[in-house]
Amino acid sequence: MKVRIGSRDSRLAVIQSEMVIKAIEKYNEKHGLKGDDAVETELITMKTTGDRILDRTLDKVGGKGLFVKELDKALLDGRADLTVHSLKDVPMEVSEDLPLLAFSKREDPRDVLILPEGEEVLNLNLPIGCSSQRRTVQIKKLYPAARVEPVRGNLQTRLKKLDDGEYSALILAYAGIKRLGLEHRVSRIFDIDEMIPAACQGILAVQGRKNFDPFFLADFNDKDARDAALAERSFVRALDGGCSSPVAAYAVTSGDRITITGFYVNDEGETFEKRISGRREDGEKLGAMLAEDMKGDADGR
């Protein structure tokens, strides 16, 4: 059988899709499948609306769902059988016709500070480049004197803007930096307690049409990542928070237990952080409970 995999055309997106392709190749090797018996793959790349609109921040043009719209269409019209996404970019509400079918093992979920090439000290005379409200709120606690301005484009484009002197630093997801082999550019890794990650940061999601059986991804699909992701997405969904909202969630599984840390900013700019633990099987319920509890704190209840 042949499986067509849809991807954004950025270098990082292609690398992430190739991780899925390698998992399929491992499935073939593990089961001794060759020739017509093997699962064959074809990578189909495309630009999304989110890749084209670079003069406005995502919250002004429809949120990170703009990175998946064209890929969803490719699934629905049969041009692709599966699509690969950074799960943090996938809207919290997913169509029943296009379910999430597999979740990768989580890469390091933390955020990092990147300075211009050759620099060792943050220059507060220039802005920090960051388009995430979640990161911006938390950066200002860590660097009160810093100015933060949006920066758009793929990761290589952002790094070029940084090295050309437009920004003093960038705040980016460590997962993408590692997948691109750019760890040497990292100046500081923020602890989870310093900067709570976006929900599902570091996890890849494979999406497909309803009733499509991704049996060849059995070893790729990671239960820990899946359970953490569903709990984190439940928290954000219960707060009516989209991918660009100043909301963060991070879940950790251990045996049959799960602990979820939530971060929330209300309309007045007040920040709230709280944690909840319980049975792993109740992860989604716990995420929603934590959100409701924090909304109560924000409302003064």
Give, to the nearest 10 degrees, the angle between helix 155-163 and helix 11-30: 140
Q: Which amino acid belongs to residue 17?
A: S
For residue 104, the 8-state DSSP code is: P
Distance CA 16, CA 27 (A): 17
Beta-carbon contacts of 41 under 8 Å, excluding residues fewer than 6 positions away, are: 2, 3, 4, 5, 21, 24, 25
Beta-carbon contacts of 203 under 8 Å, excluding residues fewer than 6 positions away, are: 86, 87, 88, 103, 104, 106, 107, 225, 228, 229
Which residues form the catalytic set? 89
32 burial type by CB count under 10 A (0-12 exposed, 13-18 middle, 19+ buried): exposed
Torsion angle, alpha carbons of 13, 25, 207, 286, to 10 = -100
Give, to the nearest 10 degrees, the angle between helix 283-299 and helix 223-238: 30
